[in-house]
Amino acid sequence: MSRWPHQSEVDNFYGNPRGNNGEPDSVWESQNIVYVSPPWKLVTSWSFEPVNSGVRVHKKCADSLNNIFLSIWASANKDVRVINEWGMHLYSGGYNFRLMRGSTSLSMHSWGCAIDFDSARNAFGDPNPNFARIPQVLDAFASEEWTWGGGWSKPDGMHWQAADI
């Protein structure tokens, strides 16, 4: 148990993001999804475009994610070169209303309580993700009780979520 809900309880904790006809609920989205910016510059991992607005997550886990970013920044001695070596500048997704890969269930990203970084070096299914070699990043998320996907039976090393499994 952590401060976060079990995956089966996210509707109770974060609210219901589902709108009509398989679309996201835009009212829920506007009331719950906020922006969090790390102290370093982010780019998208797929096209290296700047992400100036920050990452989009649920307001209930936004302060926690901000703490995680500050912890990582301190561990990197506020050196952007270290951040970039770790791949924490490569934003691969936050709030995104979609199904889980290979499933008919909604992804945790649909509630805005999941975030992905550096998808190229931490690909879905890769049992040896790069983040496994970066304890500073793993520890920062673990200290806020976020769950990492890198150790799952279907590894998802790019992924952290503020929900228990």
Work out whether 116 is an interface residue with Zn ion (CB under 5 A): yes
CB 155 within 8 A of CB 149: yes
Interacting stretch for Zn ion, rule CB under 5 A, among 35-43, 69-77, 109-117, 127-135?
Answer: 109-117
Interacting stretch for Zn ion, rule CB under 5 A, among 64-72, 111-119, 120-128, 134-142?
Answer: 111-119
Work out whether 121 is an interface residue with Zn ion (CB under 5 A): no
Nearest to 66 by CA among 34, 97, 110: 34
Residue 81 buriedness (CB in 10 A; 0-12 / 13-18 / 19+): exposed
Cβ-closest residue to Zn ion? 159
Q: Which is nearer to Zn ion, 80 or 164 (CB)?
A: 164
CB 96 within 8 A of CB 114: no
Q: What is the token pair recorded at 98?
A: 């979609």
Work out whether 58 is an interface residue with Zn ion (CB under 5 A): no
Q: Which is nearer to Zn ion, 80 or 103 (CB)?
A: 103
Q: Would strands 90-93 and 114-117 be described as parallel, antiparallel, or unpaired?
A: antiparallel
Q: What amino acid occupies position 46? A: W
Interacting stretch for Zn ion, rule CB under 5 A, among 19-27, 29-37, 115-123, 139-147?
Answer: 115-123
Q: Which residues bind Zn ion (CB under 5 A)?
A: 114, 116, 159
